[in-house]
Every structure is written in C-alpha cells, then in structure tokens.
Amino acid sequence: MKSRKLSSAPAVTGQCLCGAVQFEMEYPAFWAWHDHSRASRLAHGAVYATYVGAWRKRFRITAGEREINRFEEKETGAVRSFCRRCGTPLIYERTRSRNMINIPRALFQNRTGRQPIYHIAIEEMQDWAYAGEPLVPLKGYPGVFCKRSRKKSRLQEVRLSASIRSRCP
C-alpha cells in the first residue's frame, strides 16, 4: 500500500486521531456500509462501525506507515490495522474480499462519494444504539439531550419539546 502513486483521479484524504497516519483514496469509494457485528463493535469501542469499501489499488498510505500495527482475528482471518500511537482503527481487511479494503468512514474529512445505505450483521444491532428518536434538552446540563419517555402522553411530549425547561425522566 506504500510507495505507489494513485492515478490522476480525484482523491479524498483521511487520518487517524493523532495525525501520524495519513492516507488517500480515489474518489468515489466503491460502497459504504454499517457493520453491526460484535467484532467491529469491540474493535471500535462503538455501537457499530461505518466503513467505506475501496479497491486496494485505489488506496494509499501517505504518511505514518511505520505507526501502523496489525491485529489478525483468529476465527475469521480478518486483519485490522490501527495507529499504535493513538489507537484509531484504520483498515479492516476481510478474507472474503482480498482486493477490497475497508476504512472507517469517520476518518475522512470530506465526502467519499458513497452513502452508507447497507447494513451488515443487522441482527446483532444493539438495543442501546441511537436510532434517531426525538430528543429533549436536559435541564441544568447545557448541551446534553435525552430521549423522551414513552410513558408520557402525546400532549405532554409536545409540551416537553416546546419547553427549554423540560427535564428528562
């Protein structure tokens, strides 16, 4: 993945949290998807991971190659690369598609040319994942919002959302 120039196609760039690892990918990506599997949940420490998939030859590390560590999952043979300085997940290589690599969508600063309309392992989706439910501000904690209680009546919900003084149960 190093010492190789991409074609003259437009590229999008990304990096890890500490900035040691930088990379670029030809635009647009091949596809994008949400991964609800347990392995990705643990690897990211997040309820699910969102990946951008790209052909390997369309991706290149531009800085920090030496800072990248690899972890191989014994059961699946999948390889996960991460920055050894800051721990950011960088590349997810699955055995079923060796010519394709997957990069966390969040690491790109700009649009990748694909919306994540696909879901993998949706049956493993966690019931604590935020699914866009209406939120109300939490009284006394600026910037904190919480889900409205289901027990409240419709009228109460309207009053809650209309009032900045509302407080979550």
Residues near Zn ion (CB under 5 A) are: 16, 18, 20, 83, 85-86
Nearer to Zn ion, 86 or 158 (CB): 86
At its nearest, how many Å lie between Zn ion and the CB of residue 58? 22
Which amino acid is residue 133, in one-letter code?
E
Nearer to Zn ion, 34 or 105 (CB): 105
Instruction: Report the residue count for the chain.
Output: 169
Nearer to Zn ion, 16 or 54 (CB): 16
At its nearest, how many Å lie between Zn ion and the CB of residue 115? 27
Nearer to Zn ion, 20 or 160 (CB): 20
Nearer to Zn ion, 83 or 160 (CB): 83
User: What residue number has its CB nearest to Zn ion?
Assistant: 83
Contacts of 71 (CB under 8 A, 6+ apart): 79, 80, 81, 82
At its nearest, how many Å lie between Zn ion and the CB of residue 67? 6
CA 126 and chain centroid, separation = 15
Inter-residue contact 56 to 2 (CB < 8 Å): no
At its nearest, how many Å lie between Zn ion and the CB of residue 113? 25
At its nearest, how many Å lie between Zn ion and the CB of residue 168? 36
Cα pseudo-dihedral 53, 56, 58, 61, rounded to 10: 100
